[in-house]
């Protein structure tokens, strides 16, 4: 088994345990709170398309009433039964986030990606998944370091440069408002993954972009709030969806 495939299996096996953990009755209320933060529309038939993203958000990102994310609770409750490898992967999950990446180099066995928000570069051997991406191609992706091997999880979304520039501008504006709270862009993105997940929802489902446009046109009070991250993040132009294709 190739290194990337082995890393993906390690992640999937651990994620399955986390998923089962998250289904416990004691997390039902937290699940509902996470849905309120994550989804744009209150429409089950629309939202079920993004269930895969939501489950990752719930497990890895949603800050619960006890000020912890679910992965931390899982580690605290099950740490003695986990291998050192699993503990290492859990710690990588803590630092995983969604961002915008640009392909900088492509070779037979690896691809170099630049995080357009943090400025960091990383290398992935996940060349099969990214085979249609060329130098200069942009994407919204989530990457996890599995013991030195960077893998892309969930679904990677190909975006145009136009989309990239608009989202970058919006997120930089948000970060500048809150940079006294977060030491750097990476910290900001770790704590606010829902921002880019909301862009993904708009880009993959035109009805969501149309809904937001109607809400903005109807009145400013519901969607326009200068100081609330949950509202400011929803500003992708309707026309951008034409430039997007989904890469699975």
Distance CA 98, CA 60 (A): 11
User: Among 61, 79, 94, where does a domain finish?
Assistant: 94
- Among 159, 185, 209, residue at a domain's last position: 159
- Coil, helix or strand for 244? coil
Question: Cβ of 96: how many Cβ atoms within 10 Å?
Answer: 19
Looking at the structure of the chain, the number of domains it has is: 3
CATH number where 136 lies:
2.40.50
Within this chain, do residues 7 and 89 fall inside the same structural domain, yes or no?
yes
Same structural domain, 60 and 32? yes
Residues 78, 12 share a domain: yes
pLDDT digits (tens, 9 = 90+) for 108-129: 889 999 999 999 999 999 988 8
Domain span at 195: 161-247
Q: For residue 40, give both structure tokens.
A: 């744009």
According to DSSP, the β-strands at 149-159 and 111-115 are unpaired
Q: How far apart are CA 209 and CA 46, in angstroms?
A: 12
Give the global pTM. 0.85
Q: 135 and 195 in one domain?
A: no
- pLDDT one-digit tens code per residue, 156-171: 999 999 999 999 999 9
Indicate the residue among 94, 112, 144 that finishes a domain: 94
Provide the β-strand partners of residue 115.
101
Distance CA 157, CA 140 (A): 5
Q: What is the pLDDT of residue 141?
A: 97
SS (H, E, C) 144-172: EEECCEEEEEEEEEEECHHHHHHHHHHHH
> Two tokens at 159?
């975006």
């Amino acid at each position: 088994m190739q290194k990337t495939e082995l890393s993906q299996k390690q992640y999937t096996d651990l994620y399955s345990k986390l998923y089962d953990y998250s289904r416990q009755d004691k997390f039902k209320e937290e699940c509902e709170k996470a849905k309120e933060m994550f989804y744009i529309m209150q429409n089950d038939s629309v939202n079920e398309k993004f269930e895969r993203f939501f489950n990752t958000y719930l497990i890895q990102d949603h800050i619960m009433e006890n000020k912890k994310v679910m992965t931390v609770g899982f580690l605290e409750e099950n740490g003695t039964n986990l291998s050192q490898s699993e503990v290492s992967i859990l710690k990588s999950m803590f630092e995983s986030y969604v961002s915008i990446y640009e392909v900088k180099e492509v070779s037979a066995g690896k691809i170099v990606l630049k995080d357009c928000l943090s400025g960091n570069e990383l290398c992935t051997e996940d060349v099969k998944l990214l085979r249609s991406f060329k130098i200069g191609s942009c994407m919204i992706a989530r990457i996890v370091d599995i013991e030195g091997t960077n893998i892309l999880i969930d679904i990677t979304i190909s975006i145009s440069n136009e989309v990239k520039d608009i989202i970058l501008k919006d997120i930089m504006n948000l970060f500048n408002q809150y940079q006294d709270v977060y030491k750097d862009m990476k910290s900001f993105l770790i704590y606010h993954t829902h921002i880019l997940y909301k862009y993904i929802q708009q880009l993959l489902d035109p009805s969501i972009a149309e809904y937001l446009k109607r809400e903005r046109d109807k009145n400013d009070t519901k969607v326009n709030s200068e100081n609330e991250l949950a509202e400011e993040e929803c500003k992708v132009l309707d026309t951008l969806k034409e430039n997007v294709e989904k890469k699975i």
